Structure formats: structure tokens, C-alpha cells
Amino acid sequence: MNENPIEVLLTQPVPEAIDARLVSAYRVHRLYQHSNPQQLLDEAGPRIRGVVTGGAKGLSNELMEQLPALEIIAISGIGTDAVDLRHAASRGIHVTTTPGVLTADVADLAMGLIIGTLRRLGEGERLVRDGLWGKVDQPLARKVSGIELGIVGLGEVGKAIARRAAAFDMRVAYNGRREQPETGYRFEADLVALARSVDVLVVAAAADGGQVLVTAEVLDALGPEGYLVNVARGKLVDEDALVEALREQRIAGAGLDVFVDEPHVPPALRDLNQVVLQPHRGSATLQTRLEMGQMVLSNLAACFRGEVPPNCA
């Protein structure tokens, strides 16, 4: 390492192989491990030139302002909603993402949540683990093949979900910013109308706008035999309305990988049998995280060479 290495801040862990390459190239400060994060920022903040973070965690303006030498915020993920892009641009800070590589994993998890929720796999596993098989009644599940599937946001992830749905003979409809007739899927401009017409509503939209999409009205339209799956961002769903709809059985169930205030999950969601929960693991496979990490490394290196990084948001 150089005598005066470039200093980089990590807000969360990265795969070991990527971590090792960061350490070999830069002086790395680990905000997530420090017993006194503010002390770290006070001491090292003026020298930090790069931040590596996740899409959900991002980087607040408050923290950004404590890094006067910052040149790049390298997001391992595709979401930029947790970074104020205008504020970063006003300071000449590059914000980069890792597009493309996590699409398949997120779509796979969406299908897993659809199957797990409708077939009540979580309940079945708990029943077996608790030694209750044969001792208590097992409720019948919902057939997965042939359902009507609604997708909120037909971007790359939404399209990948739709392609997988075809293997299950699902009929796909979608809601988004624009109609995409070339896909062959049914477009529904009104999200309430889409919810009313499908068995499962999957949220796969970008959260850059930050507004709630799945409201109490949408949940009511989904109805007592409908299911919600969210692999996008928790804040796209009115979480309080979702809890009430599940409690009152106004919808049949939910499969959730994302939440409003991660890692905090409302206790009511943890207590409901008809809900399948995951800890925001849409892209959490070793293969994909290594590929994402490589893109982060490439974005950092380009920036510090004085170039525009290849994956600017």
C-alpha cells in the first residue's frame, strides 16, 4: 500500500474477497464496526474520498457533510433512493450503482416468496420442526400454477419475474410509468384496478420517487383471496395498512423481503402465520454479491484515476 493511501469508508460488510481487495488498495474505515461512529467520522472524515454502501442504507446528507473530501458514493445495489442525488451532484460527488447483475437473484426470490406464501411453506416447516405433524390440522394452501399475477414496475426485475411466471402458466399484467406493448403483457394504468384483477401483486418498482404505491385502497382491491409480495423497497407499501389488512384477513397473505425501517420489522408481521419474511436478501447470493463488489471496485478505481465511473446513477 502507498504511504498515503486513499481512504474509503464502509457503511456495511462486503464479501471477504471484495473486502480483501479494498484493503489491498485503500485504507479502509469500517463505520459499521466502530464502537463510536461519530469519533471515527471526526478523526477520519476529512480524509475520506470514497464511501461504499448498500442501496437500502445509502448515505444521508448529514453524514455526507462530514466528509468534505468525498468524491464517490459507490452503492452495491441498484437503488439510489437513500442518497440525495441532487445534493451529491451539487458537491461534484459521483454516485454509482451495480446495474444488471442482481436482476436474476431478485426475480428468483420473488418467485420463491410467491410459492412460499401461497403454499404456506413457512407454516409447514414450523409444524414439522415443532413436532406437530400429525397432531394438529394443516390448513390447505393456495395453488400457484395458473394464477393471475400483477407486477408493479415492469423494469428489468419486473420483466425477469414475468418470464419466470410463464413457466408456472401464470397470466401476467402490470402497472408502471408507461405501457410497454412489445412485452405482450396486459397493461393496467390504474393500480387499484390491477390489484382487483389479480391473485398476487408483486412490487418490483424503483423507489427513487419515494412515494407509497400500495395503499389501503390497493390492498382492499386485492381482497381476501389476494396476496402481496414485495421485493422492491418497504416504503412503497403502507406498512400500517398492510398489517391491518392481514390482521383483519382483508388479504390472504404476504411475502416480504423489505420493510420500512430495516432491520426493524413490526411485531405483528412476525406473529402472523400467513406472512413469509426475509431479511432483505434479494441479491444475497455469493455469486451475485461478488459480481456487484467487482463493479464497486471498478467504479472506485475509475473515480480515483480522475475518470467518470462507468456506472454513474
Sign of CA dihedral 277, 127, 224, 118: positive
Beta strand 48-54 pairing with 7-10:
parallel
Q: How many CB atoms lie within 10 A of CB 286?
A: 10
The active-site residue, picked from 233, 247, 264, 289, is 233
Give the separation between CA 313 and CA 300, rounded to whole angstroms: 14
Q: Which of 97, 230, 212 is nearest to 158 (CA)?
A: 230
Is 262 among the residues known to form the active site? yes
Helix and strand tally (H, E) in the chain? 12, 12
Q: Which of 118, 73, 114, 117 is nearest to 96 (CA)?
A: 73
Instruction: List residues bridging with 295 in a β-sheet.
Output: none
Give the separation between CA 137 and CA 118, rounded to whole angstroms: 17
The active-site residue, picked from 262, 281, 289, 307, is 262
What is the phi/psi pair of residue 229, to 5°? -125, 135
Is 29 among the residues known to form the active site? no
Instruction: List residues bridging with 50 in a β-sheet.
Output: 8, 72
Alpha helices in 204-305 (DSSP H): 216-222, 239-247, 267-271, 286-304
Give the separation between CA 141 and CA 125, rounded to whole angstroms: 13
Phi-psi region of 143 (alpha: psi -120 to 50; beta: other; left: phi over 0): beta
The active-site residue, picked from 280, 289, 291, 305, is 280
Q: Give catalytic residue positions.
A: 233, 262, 280
